[in-house]
């Protein structure tokens, strides 16, 4: 018997937007965001200067066809250019680093989910178990994104911003075994 898990995506800051596939950029340590990646129209009703739309998702497959339970999974981090925007800004490099850190926070949580799934022991309720595990990590990711913006005042507090950059870099390093 073979069952395939559904891909689950979360888009921070934006609700579901229909069935069409959104262009995306996968997170990679050698590929930093550029302002050209931010393609959406700015939301002028919002005071801050840019918005990064990123998230984590996963897919999975479980099979007993060989007689031995086999669980395979993939976790990924995406940036959505058509849902991310920037206004006219003054300190472009500094703000871009802030937006990159939002993307990096999503990757940090993808690594956390990979680590959890690596040690997952197959149970009777695989689909429910995986959904629960994903929801815990996703909830933590959203909370960290919000805390990051609150503590840095959306990049205005430079001292807090530098602390966050250091913290996220350390955490990514600690989980480097779970990078793609």
Count the neighbouring beta carbons within 10 Å of the beta carbon of residue 116: 17
Helix (H) / strand (E) containing 40? none
Show pLDDT as tens, one digit a residue, over the chain (180 residues). Answer: 333 332 223 333 333 344 467 899 999 999 999 999 999 999 999 888 999 999 999 999 998 888 888 899 999 999 999 999 999 777 899 999 999 999 999 999 999 999 999 999 988 899 999 999 999 999 999 999 999 999 999 999 999 999 999 999 999 999 999 999
Report in angstroms the alpha-carbon separations of 66 from 49, 58, 62, 63, 69: 54, 24, 11, 8, 8
d(CA 56, CA 58): 7
* Distance from C-alpha of 37 to C-alpha of 81, rounded to nearest angstrom: 5
> From start to end of 48-163, where are the E strands?
50-51, 54-63, 70-79, 85-86
**Taking CA 49 as the corner, what is the angle to CA 151 and CA 161, rounded to the nearest 5 degrees?**
30
The SS3 assignment for 157 reads: coil
Taking CA atoms, 40 is separated from 10, 89, 162, 166, 174, in Å, by 18, 15, 27, 29, 34
| Angstrom distance (rounded) from CA 155 to CA 71 | 41
Question: How far from chain centre, in Å, is Cα 125?
Answer: 25
CA distance 102 to 97: 9
Q: What is the pTM of this model?
A: 0.86
Residue 20 has what pLDDT?
61
Q: How many helices (H) and strands (E) does the chain have?
A: 3, 7
Q: How far is the C-alpha of 67 from the C-alpha of 151, rounded, in Å?
A: 52
């Amino acid at each position: 018997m073979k069952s395939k898990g559904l891909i689950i995506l979360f888009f921070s800051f934006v609700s579901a937007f229909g069935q069409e596939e959104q262009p995306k950029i996968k997170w990679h340590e050698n590929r930093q965001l550029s302002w050209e990646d931010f393609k959406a129209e700015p939301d002028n009703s919002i005071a801050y200067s840019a918005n990064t739309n990123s998230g984590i998702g996963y897919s999975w497959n479980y099979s007993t066809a060989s007689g031995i339970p086999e669980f395979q999974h993939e976790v990924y981090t995406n940036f959505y250019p058509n849902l991310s925007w920037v206004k006219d800004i003054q300190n472009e490099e500094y703000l871009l680093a802030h937006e990159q850190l939002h993307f990096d926070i999503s990757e940090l949580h993808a690594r956390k989910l990979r680590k959890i799934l690596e040690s997952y022991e197959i149970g009777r309720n695989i689909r429910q178990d995986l959904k629960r595990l994903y929801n815990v990590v996703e909830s933590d990711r959203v909370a960290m994104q919000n805390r990051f913006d609150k503590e840095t005042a959306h990049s205005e507090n430079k001292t807090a911003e530098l602390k966050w950059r250091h913290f996220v870099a350390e955490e990514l390093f600690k989980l480097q075994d779970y990078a793609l």
